[in-house]
Structure 1
Amino acid sequence: MPRDAKDIQFAELKDMTAQLNTTIAALTGTIQEKDAAIAKLTEEVSYLRRKLFGASSEKRPGIDPNQLSLFDTDEGMEIPVADVEEIPETVVREHTRQRKKKPTLEEQFKGAAINRVVVGSLTDEEKKCPVCGAGMVPIGTEVIRREVEFIPARYEVTEYVATTYECPKCKQTEEPQFIKDEGCPPALIEKSYATPSLVSGILKNKFVLGLPFYRQEQDLKRSGILITRATMAAWAILVFQLYFQFLVQFFHRELLKRHFLMMDGTPVQVPKEPDKRPQSKSYVWLMRSGEDGLPPLLIYRYSPTRNGNNAVEMLESSTPGLYLMVDGFQGYDKLKNVKRCACYAHIRRYFLDAIPKGSEKDLSNPAVQGVAYCDKLFRYERIYKEQGLSHEQRQKRRMKDEKPVVDAFIKWLDQQKMSASSNKFNKALTYARNRQDILLTYLEDGRCSLSDNMSENSIRPVVVGRKNWLFSDTVGGAEASMGIYTIVEMAKFHGLDPYKYMKYILEQRPSYRSTDEELEKLAPWSSSCQEICK
């Protein structure tokens, strides 16, 4: 049956409507995708601007007091401790920052030698009494002014002179007899003019003050001393191989006896590394002791790669039941028979980076909520430290105060949904969820740390120094540099002067024949080092 014109027109309009709906739906989807992409790019630009121009501190402003708290307790509450028998009741009052007292000149330069100059400007006539004319006598002194003089480093050349002796009776015979006295101390480095004081001064300049060898070469040249940067680099490698490495190995053996360790790493460039491009990255591994109350220990080690097998090798023969605090690097997953602790500083940092600009105090924002959970834990830890709790007391307080917070945090993580507009929040959520199985590990012992901040602080000297010396030219140089950093930072850990400590080690000259008992005497916590190198 033929259709009339209205039916045909209606069918065409119906088809056109369907096509328009399809087009609108496609355009709507495209617009939504573009809006999501724009939101993600805007977030990334805002994040990069904060990193480039914003404050580097991770401190954040306090939550608005008129806003409801995420927790039942207030921001500044005092935590009672009377309900735990072993912990005496302590009140931690609010801390108020006080202006530092300006140090006196004696305090500023207490380590400098004092040269007293007695003022003698009065003539004999001026020393007579203006009333009776009698000569006055001194009755006391007082300091009227102090000055500080700078005396540049002074270099001396020591010449060992050998005396030759001859026999006066055999002198006229066919076999005259001679004896040469060559009993001078052995050289630090064979066929070299290097001395413990000279080498230690050069190493202190680079590994403590961050002064590269080429700058030291220029400075020495201005003083009339010609020591090339190549010579300095060779000395650094040789003293490490001949002396320092045996003490570093001893520190490593002592570290493996500990039950609470931390690890971290940072890139370093070694242009002349075999089978690698000069621009490729190598790595420095740090392993240090945790909050176990024992003398602090740490070592740095160079590695051509960031493979987790390096961590496995460094922890080989470690103590069973070891607690290890590390960041989220997946290479640590290769470690077996260790109890991993999650770093809440890294978790907090991811959520902190996800907070949109202007929303820092908005507790309705999920990123702010994630930071608030972490802040609550760190606040408890700070109060425990101020109260001076033992690790047994801290473990009990953690179970009472912090475990409910961690349980609530885990439950909160499960309830969160991925954001369509914030990659940063998605990364933070993924990072935290991937560590859900180890978020509670630190509660098992009060000596476990809440964060990896201590190891990050320990890796910082290498990071800061790297900005000055830029790279290690060879593998041998990289290995030596990390060994010397170990010696320097161990000295600083124990309140020693790094220069004096390195000089003392080079004077004692440990070797592969040195026993652990002998190396123990060269450890920075030993009484002899504390007395000589303080």
Structure 2
Amino acid sequence: MEIALENLSKEELLKLVSSRDEQITTLSQETSKKDEEIDYLKSQLAMYRRMQFGQKRERFEGDPNQTTLPFEAEPIAVEQQRKETRQKIEYTRKRPNHKGRAKLPQHLPVQEIEIYPEGDLSEMVCIGKEITEELECEPAKFYIKRFIRYKYTPKNGDGVRIGELPERVIDRGIPGAGLLAMILTGKYQDHLPLYRQKQIFARENIQIASSTIEGWTKESLIKLEPLYEQLIFDTKTKGYLQVDETPIKVLDSDKKGAAHQGYYWVYHSPLDKTVLFDYNPSRAGHVPKSMLDNFKGYLQTDGYAAYDKYGKKKDITHLACWAHARREFEKALQNDHPRAEKALMMIQELYKTERRAKKEQLPADRIKELRLKESLPVINEMGKWIFKEIKNTLPKSQIGKAMAYAYARWDALSAYLYDGNLQIDNNLIENAIRPVALGRKNYLFAGSHEAAQRSAMIYSFFAICKKHEVNPFKWLKHTLLNISSINHKNLKDLYPQNYKQISDKSNM
């Protein structure tokens, strides 16, 4: 319907113009919103393409022009292959030229094999000898430890005395501490599921039921509970903790045929290199309450919102993670390469300072001086740049998200400058979590919530072993043998770091 403008009054014309202006404004806002959504979807598509076709690509692509497989080679090719094989065999017989050989470990036992020249040596004199050494091994050695306890009675026949049986890990069970330590180390350190270990036993003609091995594993882990409870108590008293969480599938689920998604909450103390894994079925914000409610000191986390309320407490200084901030800018390279690259270059300068401090093995006070001299100016420059540029970025774009991530946590990202003992990122705790990720790919899930918590115990101690360069098998065997008889006041002596001190002294 057309409107005759000449028939309208001045007031009606003004209303019509105003109405048209509002329509134009609305259309403009909708267009802007759609443009923003298009840019966001483009950035997401670019990121997914990068994830799919980037450096981690391992996709196999066959040759479309390839015909059927050549089941038989040509005679000429067979002869050529034989010639090359003969040359390779002759080459391997010769000692290859190299600058030197690796030194063999001095602590290993030596098996000497004496080799004399052939023939009659009675009229000859030995003028020396040449020694050649090679590193050799045997598969795991299984044997039976038989305790024979003799009984004695007085000649008058009054009473009987018998030799006391040593402390055993599983009372009236057949596995020794070494076997149990091997099974647990195999599963939780070397990521060998129990069914694969059962196959190893079978190759040695040792038939053990799966339920039996599972029972041994459970009983062994239960033995560690007192030491684990002590570790929880000690972790709560630390003044600097890094916290993270990682998922674990658990079969105990309310839904039939589905696995429950549980979580390991991990607490790492960088100063004394201790790690605590704590299982919980939930990832909700209330979970770390028992660990962090009375915590005082420095708390370093990723961007998960569950930690924010703890970071705001009066006695806690919240530290963020520069590695997470860097990842956000890396994702934005396809979306806005110039600005993402500039941010990454500045972050690279921060890590350059950290590498220098580590290379020179600087003490904490010197690290703080170095950071204030080199890192603080970079952080100030980057903060001003983000404050200026974030106004000109689309919030839903990847570069906008990266800037918003850093901007919202700027004080926490800068807090590592307060003390040279503090870390620039959470990488140390992520390294401690990595064995869980490797284990998940092999055994896939935990059988129950209780089993997941028992696994958390051994993951904790094996992570500490790794950080203190302790042999996990030797530590676990020692601990299983002594934990039932040790005085409760000396329970901490069984910590991996304390076991290392004992073993180092015994080797001196």
TM bin, normalised by shorter chain, reads 0.7 to 0.9
Residue in structure 2 matched with residue 305 of structure 1 by the alignment:
282
Q: Do the aligned partners of 1:340 and 1:441 also contact (CA within 8 Å) in 2?
A: yes
Distance in 1 of aligned mates of 2:207 and 2:100:
40
Q: How do residues 139-218 of structure 1 correspond to structure 2 at under 5 angstroms?
A: 139-143=127-131, 146-163=133-150, 179=160, 181=162, 183-218=164-199
One-letter code of the match for 2:475? Y
1:61-82, Cα deviation, whole Å (9 max, x unpaired): xxxxxxxxxxxxxxxxxxxxxx
Q: Do the aligned partners of 2:151 and 2:162 also contact (CA within 8 Å) in 1?
A: yes
Change beyond 3 A, Cα 1:378–1:522: closer
Distance in 2 of aligned mates of 1:512 and 1:165:
29
Residue in structure 1 matched with residue 403 of structure 2 by the alignment:
429
SS at match of 2:422: coil
Residue in structure 2 matched with residue 132 of structure 1 by the alignment:
none
- In terms of mean alpha carbon deviation, does 379-388 or 524-533 score higher? 524-533
Q: Do the aligned partners of 1:269 and 1:470 also contact (CA within 8 Å) in 2?
A: yes
1:197-227, Cα deviation, whole Å (9 max, x unpaired): 0100111111111101111112211211122
Does residue 284 in structure 1 map to residue 269 in structure 2? no
Distance in 2 of aligned mates of 1:394 and 1:309:
35
Q: How do residues 487-502 of structure 1 correspond to structure 2 at under 5 angstroms?
A: 487-502=461-476
- The count of corresponding residues between Structure 1 and Structure 2 is 453
Q: How do residues 14-93 of structure 1 correspond to structure 2 at under 5 angstroms?
A: 36-55=36-55
SS at match of 2:237: coil
Task: Choose from 368, 387, 398 the match for 1:414.
Answer: 387
Residue in structure 2 matched with residue 331 of structure 1 by the alignment:
306
Distance in 1 of aligned mates of 2:354 and 2:137:
45
Residue in structure 1 matched with residue 89 of structure 2 by the alignment:
none
Structure 1: gaps (5+ residues):
1-6, 9-20, 58-100, 129-134, 171-176
One-letter code of the match for 2:146? E
Bigger share in helix:
2
Q: Do the aligned partners of 1:206 and 1:212 also contact (CA within 8 Å) in 2?
A: yes
- In terms of mean alpha carbon deviation, does 244-253 or 303-312 score higher? 244-253
User: Offset at 1:525?
Assistant: 3.1
Residue in structure 1 matched with residue 103 of structure 2 by the alignment:
107
Q: Do the aligned partners of 1:413 and 1:429 also contact (CA within 8 Å) in 2?
A: yes
Residue in structure 1 matched with residue 124 of structure 2 by the alignment:
136
Distance in 1 of aligned mates of 2:253 and 2:100:
51
Q: Do the aligned partners of 1:341 and 1:441 also contact (CA within 8 Å) in 2?
A: yes
User: Offset at 1:41?
Assistant: 3.3
Q: Do the aligned partners of 1:501 and 1:533 also contact (CA within 8 Å) in 2?
A: no
Q: How do residues 209-248 of structure 1 correspond to structure 2 at under 5 angstroms?
A: 209-242=190-223, 244-248=224-228
User: Offset at 1:514?
Assistant: 1.1
Structure 2: gaps (5+ residues):
1-5, 8-20, 58-96
RMSD: 3.8
1:379-427, Cα deviation, whole Å (9 max, x unpaired): 2222222333221122233223322322222222222236449632222
User: Offset at 1:37?
Assistant: 4.5
One-letter code of the match for 1:340? H
One-letter code of the match for 1:307? A
User: Offset at 1:36?
Assistant: 5.0
Distance in 2 of aligned mates of 1:274 and 1:33:
42
Does residue 377 in structure 1 map to residue 350 in structure 2? yes
Residue in structure 2 matched with residue 71 of structure 1 by the alignment:
none
User: Offset at 1:451?
Assistant: 0.9
Distance in 1 of aligned mates of 2:383 and 2:258:
45
Distance in 2 of aligned mates of 1:533 and 1:312:
43
SS at match of 2:278: strand
1:94-131, Cα deviation, whole Å (9 max, x unpaired): xxxxxxx989555266564332222224201xx48xxx
Distance in 1 of aligned mates of 2:42 and 2:156:
99
Runs of 4+ residues deviating >6 angstroms:
21-34, 165-170, 274-277
- In terms of mean alpha carbon deviation, does 378-387 or 442-451 score higher? 378-387
Distance in 2 of aligned mates of 1:266 and 1:39:
32
1:448-499, Cα deviation, whole Å (9 max, x unpaired): 2111111111111111222112111112211111111112121222221110
Does residue 402 in structure 1 map to residue 359 in structure 2? no
User: Offset at 1:232?
Assistant: 2.6
Q: Do the aligned partners of 1:233 and 1:477 also contact (CA within 8 Å) in 2?
A: no
Q: Do the aligned partners of 1:247 and 1:519 also contact (CA within 8 Å) in 2?
A: yes
Distance in 2 of aligned mates of 1:342 and 1:164:
66
